[in-house]
Amino acid sequence: MKVYLTFDIEIWCNNWEELDVRFPHSFHRYVYGHSQSGDYALPKTLEILDRNALKGVFFVEPLFAGRFGIEHLAVIVDMIRAGNHDIQLHLHPEWTDEIRPLLFPGANRKRQHLSYYTLEEQCTLLAYGRNLLAAAGHDQVTAFRAGSFACNTDTYRALRRCGITLDSSLNAVHPDCGIDLKDTLDFYRPQVFEGVRILPLTIFRDGFGKPRPAQLGACSFPEMRNALESAADNGTRHFVILSHNFEMLRQGRSEPDGIVVRRFEALCAFLAAHRDKFEVSTLSPAPTIDTQLRQAYPFCPSDPYPGKASLSSTFLRHGEQLARRIFG
C-alpha cells in the first residue's frame, strides 16, 4: 500500500490588521517554531522524516509571497528541497486581496475559499501561485490541494487548463469541501474527474465507529497504526495522511506539543520499520489510479472507509486531549 505523508505549509498572521508588523514574527513561528527545546515547525518535520529515510509531500502555500516577497517563499522551498522532498501547490486565496497589483477585477475583497472564485479567477490564482513557486526555485508543480479543502467543480476544470494532473483536495468530513460535488464524486477513493487524478484524504472509522480524518493532530498513534494496518489488509492501494508545518507546536505558541511530536516520531518509526507492507511515496511522478478497480465498488457504498481503529486507541486519543487541556 502506498502511503503519502502530506504537509500543508502555510503562513498566518492571526488576523488581517497590521500585517507588516505581524509578519516577521508569524513567519518565524510558522516556518521555524523556535523554542528552548529546538525548532519544532518545518525543521523538526524534516529532521524526523530524514532520520527515518522517508519522503514527504509538501503542499506549499505561496500567495503570501505576493505581499511580502519571493525571498521568504524561497527560504521554505530551499529547506524542503534540501531533503529531496516533493514540493507541490497549495492555495489559500484569503491572501488574494493583499497582493499588489491586484490580479483581476474584484480581487480587492477578501474571499476565504477557492470555491468562491470563478473558473477564470481560479485559473489566474493557480497560474500565479505556480509562478511564485517557480520564482522561488521550484518549477515542477504537478499536484494541488485547495486550502481548507474548499474545491469545487471549477477547481478541477482550472487544474486541467493549467496542466496540473493530480489533486488531493477531497476531504469527506470537511464541511467546505466540494459542496457541488457531493452527488458526483466518491470522496473516499481515488478516481479521475475532468482529466485530473484525485487522491482524497484518507478517512477511517475510529473506535466509536465515527469517521476520522487521517491527520496527525486528530488521531492517536495507535489509531493511525490500526487504520494503516486494516486498510492494507483490506487491499487499499493509497493512504493519504495530513499534517501542517505548525502541527507539532502548541496552539498560538512556538513551544512543542509533546503529544503530537511523539505521534509523528512513532508514525515515522513505524512506517520505516514496515517498508515491506507500506511504501511511503511522493506525488511526483503522479501515482497510477486504477479506474477499472474502482468500478468493482458501488458508488457511495454503505461502508466506504478503508480502515478502522480499535476502541482502546480512540480512548487513548481522548485521554491525550484531556491531558492537553489540563496541563497545556
Work out the average pLDDT over 113-128.
98
Q: How confident is the model at residue 252 (pLDDT cuts 50, 70, 90)?
A: confident
CA distances from 113 to 9, 122, 239 (A): 17, 11, 25
> 294 or 296, which is more confident?
294
pLDDT in tens, 298-328: 444 567 899 999 999 999 999 999 988 887 6
pLDDT at 154: 98
pLDDT in tens, 226-239: 999 999 999 999 99
Residue 19 buriedness (CB in 10 A; 0-12 / 13-18 / 19+): middle
Q: How confident is the model at residue 292 (pLDDT cuts 50, 70, 90)?
A: low
- Taking the CA atoms of residue 138, residue 140, residue 143 and residue 144 in that order, the dihedral angle to the nearest 10 degrees is 40
Mean per-residue pLDDT of the chain: 94
Helix axes 119-135, 153-162, angle to 10 degrees: 50
pLDDT at 283: 96
User: Is pLDDT above 70 for 97?
Assistant: yes
Domains of the chain: 2-327 (3.20.20.370)
pLDDT at 67: 97
The fraction of the chain above a pLDDT of 90, given in percent, is 90
4: cell is 503519502
pLDDT at 296: 42
Q: In whole angstroms, what is the distance from residue 39 CA to residue 53 CA?
A: 20
pLDDT at 168: 98
Beta strands in the chain (DSSP E): 2-9, 34-35, 38-39, 57-60, 86-91, 143-146, 166-167, 191-193, 196-198, 203-205, 211-213, 238-244, 279-280
User: Is pLDDT above 60 for 294?
Assistant: no
Q: In whole angstroms, what is the distance from residue 168 CA to residue 141 CA?
A: 13
Q: Is the separation of the CB atoms in 182 and 160 below 8 Å?
A: no
pLDDT in tens, 12-59: 999 999 999 999 999 999 999 999 999 999 999 999 999 999 999 999
pLDDT in tens, 143-178: 999 999 999 999 999 999 999 999 999 999 999 999
Q: In whole angstroms, what is the distance from residue 272 CA to residue 218 CA?
A: 21
For 143: left if phi > 0, alpha if psi spans -120 to 50, otherwise beta; the answer is beta
User: Is pLDDT above 80 for 99?
Assistant: yes
Amino acid at 91: L
Handedness of CA 145, 13, 247, 133 (dihedral sign): positive
pLDDT at 234: 93
Work out the average pLDDT over 242-260.
94
Q: In whole angstroms, what is the distance from residue 80 CA to residue 102 CA?
A: 29
pTM, full prediction:
0.95
